Amino acid sequence: MNPEQFDQELKKHNFELTQEQKEQFKIYFTKLVTANEHVNLTRITEEEDVYLKHFFDSLTPLFTFKKVFVEGATLCDVGAGAGFPSIPLKILMPGLKVTIVDSLAKRLTFLKDLIAKLNLSDVNLVHGRAEDVGQNKLYREKFDLVTARAVANMTVLSEYCLPLVKKDGYFVALKGPKAEDELENSKKALQVLGGKLIDEEELTLPDTNEERTLVLVKKVKLTPKKYPRQAGTPRRKPIK
């Protein structure tokens, strides 16, 4: 998917990129590939692949669950790495108030530089493990939306993300193909953490066989204070 095809695909979803937004994605691609020579950010570096598998892929929740992406919403992206999905979402919806959580300082250094180059406002970078951030009063149950892409399985991911979602807010997970087993195994965790599965949509990226699953979870009750547990525990002892 080259930049022109990217532009055309977005139009199909009723998003017409401004010249500034086109330029922002172009800068994003250049900065990503350049920084990737020094910091391990992505294995995907060809322009057509970055536009499809990073940029377009990051925007699929906006097309699929459009009703939860309201202008001015607060969004926390857990384990964003090189900024996916939050930075493409922010470019397309400049009114989003974004907080990015990542445990690796080098990635946050890249993002800080990128945010300045893209001239984005209302983007806050937080250095820390999701488990620690989820217990921090500054962030706990403060966000309308929490996103995560390719971070962990649904059970572990729910413990990372749901404590950050405010009651009646949403957790959006961007998963790979065939996520049914993951979702089945995460039922107990969702219930314990105050979440309710609202929607699960399977899709294929344009003109490919690349399958994705998008998961929408609503926070229906507050998360018990003991969650998230100490850093590392959710992976070692997932909620069953």
Q: For residue 106, what is the domain's CATH number?
A: 3.40.50.150
Can you tell me the distance from the alpha carbon of 45 to that of 81, in angstroms, rounded to the nearest whole number?
Answer: 15
Angle value at C-alpha 200, between 196 and 205, nearest 5 degrees: 150
User: CA neighbours within 13 Å on the CB side: how many for 92?
Assistant: 25
Domain of residue 90: give its range.
3-236
pLDDT tier at 39, thresholds 50, 70, 90? confident
Residue 25 marked as a ligand binder? no
What is residue 151's predicted lDDT score, i.e. its pLDDT?
72
What is residue 238's predicted lDDT score, i.e. its pLDDT?
93
Percent of the chain with pLDDT over 70: 100
What is residue 194's predicted lDDT score, i.e. its pLDDT?
97
Residue 55 marked as a ligand binder? no
Residues in the chain: 240
State how many domains the chain has: 1
β partners of residue 165:
143
Query: With 90 as the cut, is the pLDDT of residue 177 above it?
Result: no
pLDDT tier at 117, thresholds 50, 70, 90? very high
At 121-157, the pLDDT tens digits run 999 999 999 999 999 999 999 999 999 997 788 999 9
Overall pTM > 0.85: yes
User: CA neighbours within 13 Å on the CB side: how many for 119?
Assistant: 5
At 47-79, the pLDDT tens digits run 999 999 999 999 999 999 999 999 999 999 999
Of the candidates 193, 150, 203, the residue with the CA atom closest to the CA atom of residue 169:
193
Query: With 80 as the cut, is the pLDDT of residue 93 above it?
Result: yes
pLDDT tier at 184, thresholds 50, 70, 90? confident
Can you tell me the distance from the alpha carbon of 196 to that of 179, in angstroms, rounded to the nearest whole number?
Answer: 16
Can you tell me the distance from the alpha carbon of 40 to that of 233, in angstroms, rounded to the nearest whole number?
Answer: 26
Query: With 90 as the cut, is the pLDDT of residue 42 above it?
Result: no
Residue 84 marked as a ligand binder? yes
Per-residue tokens: 49: 């692949």
